[in-house]
Structure 1
């Protein structure tokens, strides 16, 4: 990969965390992998409206990509979030892929991304909650965008991550023994990820 341009990846953090927190979490990956990636980290558009699950480990500020009512049965500002991401990509792109979050229905003003890397992900709303219309539309047909998924054996949302695999055509999966977090990568995980990136760079 030394003679190729590094894939530029827009990294979107998890619920009520931040770009800096995700950067610290991914920073524990081996340099042999990080050296081959151009990672750009973006904060969500909204300050966190409640308690963060990482407060005992990482300090504030914390951000959200969307806002919801107390029981998460209704979402607000979902479209605004997608426009926020799209505007950032227009100003700071182009990007080859996403890490952390995938939504291609509304991002129509920017070049189509080549791949997504999804860590502890699931369909928007998961099995418990409803989906905004844009998110529901995104999963109405198979997604052909190449995807790499991280699924933790002790992740409380493991079932959601497995369910998401059905929406993608030929997803690549890295299983790890940790929970709902950015996992450390062993030698096999790094090899899988490098092969995935190499495959993306060699697409027509």
Structure 2
């Protein structure tokens, strides 16, 4: 189904869940909170992180196990364990289930999503897959590990991004700090804490506009490909 029929494929996003939760939990959170008008315009794949939870999950009693984590860290969030394995695992998912247009992340998944374009640009991770083009970051923050952070944010991150920031999110100051690394980020505020938010009217308009922008980019790419083929 090409652009001739006026049909544009939906943007595909890889959804990275929060610490000690799961792909199924993120899927449930998004599909119960976000309206059909958003969900019908985007395809999201929800994998589980590579490592079984090594401690108690904050969502125990709210969402069913099993729970997973992307990588481990010390109390100060400065020393990471299994980080390279995490990057290789994400790359493998993209190779097998991609291509993807972008990343959607919540919490630990949002920290990864916000840093991966910089790591990819530096040749540190995701070297076997196409460039990450778009980001949806919910409750994000910067990497705290010095060497990882230096590689992630040393150059401005230019891929179009939408950032959800909660007025009562304990990560709010860190989410604001992350914004400084991005060129022209779209920011959607919500009154809640560290959670997947529902949309108010303004936020919904911003999100639909962001998705329309991606659709237009995909349409332009399709037309360029057709011109190359015809030539």
TM-score normalised by length of structure 2 = 0.82
Q: In 2, are the aligned partners of 1:9 and 1:95 still within 8 Å (CA)?
A: yes
Contact 1:75 1:132 in 2 (8 A): no
Q: Deviation at 1:200?
A: 2.2
Q: Does 1:99 align with 2:104?
A: yes
Q: Aligned residue for 1:118?
A: 137
Q: Tell me how far apart the structure 2 counterparts of residues 199 and 9 of structure 1 sit (CA, whole Å).
A: 15
Q: Which residue of 1 aligns with 2:224?
A: none
1:51-200 equivalence runs, <5 A: 51-69=56-74, 72-100=77-105, 101=110, 102=113, 103-104=116-117, 105=119, 106-125=125-144, 131=145, 133-200=147-214
Structure 2: distance between partners of 1:14 and 1:158: 16
- Please tell me whether Structure 1 or Structure 2 has the larger radius of gyration of its CA atoms: 2
Residue of structure 2 aligned with 1:33, choices 33, 38, 42: 38
Structure with the bigger percentage of helix: 2
Tell whether the 8 Å contact from 1:114 to 1:200 is kept in structure 2 after alignment.
no
Contact 2:135 2:160 in 1 (8 A): yes
* Count of matched residue positions in the alignment of Structure 1 and Structure 2: 198
Partner of residue 14, structure 2: 10
The CA deviation string for residues 85-140 of structure 1, in whole angstroms up to 9 with x for no partner, is 00110011000010013213111110112200000001013xxxxx1523431111
Instruction: Give ranges in structure 1 of 5+ residues lacking alignment.
Output: 126-130
Structure 1 length as normaliser, TM-score? 0.92
Distance in 2 between residues matched to 1:93 and 1:157, nearest whole Å: 30
Structure 1 residues 92 and 132: alpha-carbon distance in aligned structure 2, compared to 1, 3 A threshold: farther
Question: 2-side partners of 1:30 and 1:121: how far apart?
Answer: 22
Q: Is contact 2:78–2:146 with CA below 8 Å preserved after alignment?
A: no
